[in-house]
Structure 1
Amino acid sequence: MRVTANHLTFLRIILLPLPCILLYGGPEAKLTALGIGSLLGLTDFLDGKLARRHGSTPLGAFLDPIADKIFIVALYTFLSHLGFMPIWVAAAIFVRELLVSSLRRKVPGALPVTWLAKMKTTIQMFVAALVVAVVTFSAYTVYFLLGAGAILLLGGILARLKGAKFLIVIFLSLTLPCLSFLSLKHLILVLSLVALGVTWLSALDYLKLALSQISLKDFLKIIPGALWPAIIIIFANKAGDFWILIPLVVVLIFLREGLLFFKRGKIQEIFPIVFFVLAVFSLLIEELIPAYLFAALVFLIFENVSLFMAARPALFKN
């Protein structure tokens, strides 16, 4: 059987819980999580190569970007819950991802994908792997940073970057080892801010174009929905034993956003606003958080199934 791009994308989604669970083990388990996570991240590059070689399918065109977002939001949710990176960094990254996805549905025509936007997911994965490595094996921080700098430089060469882009890669490659002089806490903060900065810088062109084509009123309507996963991840330190529902809910929110490209209406636009308001209310009365998470999970499961059934003809057409 020929391995297709869709096979690798499915593999990335199905195996994602494994490295997330292993992060809660000892150093050996975390090292295994780092290896598995890196291999899963590599499938993002490989499925792109296969899609270009054999041709893309409607299902593949839908799954690949969704798989990337699910990979990042799940990983960053677990990293923030473990205290490996600030929870507000993960929340801010989620806002950007959902905001741009929502704008893609609102803006007539397709928003162009910039070079930085293409690199964004790779940098997010790179930073996550580096954070896990330095937290788990802090005594070897300088070697990890040297290795990361070398990998970054090699990536720039293999990608045949030129001019300002390659100069940026060289600068980052030389800067990374210098960060070993920082304390672990400050190093993690700097690495997290790099991921956050690249994530939002890659959104500037989208925001500028979107705001020139839609009204401010329409833009403001999607803000509550974009903030929805950010509010939910803040529940992590307040949900007690129910915190495990948080990554499930956040992942389903992003899956829902992708499926809305195939079917959407006024009622679908109202749901995120309602659940955002309820999430804020639950923050004020923390005893409601478990009930809120359970209700959101049930709602998202049923709505995603409904949206998927409506999208099936488009996803599986020949």
Structure 2
Amino acid sequence: MDTSTEPVIQATGLRRRYGRGRNTFEAVRGVDLDVARGELFALLGTNGAGKTSTLEVLEGLAPASDGQVRVLGHDPYRQRQQIISRMGIMLQQAGFPESLTVAETATMWHGTLSTPRPIASVLADVQLSERAGVPVKSLSGGEKRRLDLGLALMGRPELVFLDEPTTGLDPQSRHVTWNLVRSLLDEGCTVVLTTHYLAEAEELADRIAIMHQGVIHTEGTVAQIVATQNARIEFDSPDARLLDLASLPALAERIEVSGERVELQSKHLQTTLAELMARAAQNQVELGRLQARSASLEQAFMAISEQSHSLAA
């Protein structure tokens, strides 16, 4: 594989429009992103955020309406033939011939590739060896997704696009898929992932970008994105006034009191919680239904969605 330090994917000002004139809809509104060789980059977003439209441009399935895009050093749409053999693509839905068996489908795909992996090895990796003689139409939804994945990886790609790869999989199959993706990364493969399972992105991704309404709102590692959000401490107390909450703003970003229920938001969970517990002990205040929760990727995801809705209101 190429060991170049140049990004595998570069997009600057990427836009994607549908329709013309008054009926024009801009699904992607100026996206900039770089994906480094050997990393797993997760592109997350709400429904209709523009993820699939962005992926279709990066995969070379559609041209960009505006902006510059380079994948493996080439224009992925106009020069697709120069890079298609180096990519593996797993779409949200595949169009397998329903009458063919799993083995026949894999054999057909095998014949289109220049350096394919052995069929038996691929089916074993996605746990379909015992289903080789079964018609595709008889597979479960999860089995079809695993066949999708196996075929996407059969050509030994150096860049793989996985669009919702574990939809319909049971937890065990999902973890098998995760381990297979990790093995790709260990071999130096670059992976672009979209998923609605935030835990999947947290588990696998080196970097994450969150899209909403056609633009990327935040990008970075999981730790960097989570660090933008506040941890939360909640408790019940009729004697909250004894805790002198008014002096906590140096530790708490936000304090809300609703009856006996108190919520503190802080970027320093341990320090704030320790100070709160010390004050409670000193003043003999009981903290009922005490909960302390670290910030999460889900929290960051929801904050972006809610912020955008409030701005539009």
TM-score w.r.t. length of structure 1:
0.29
Structure with higher helix content = 1
TM-score w.r.t. length of structure 2:
0.29
Structure with higher strand content = 2
User: Which structure has the higher relative contact order (CA within 8 Å, separation 6+)?
Assistant: 1
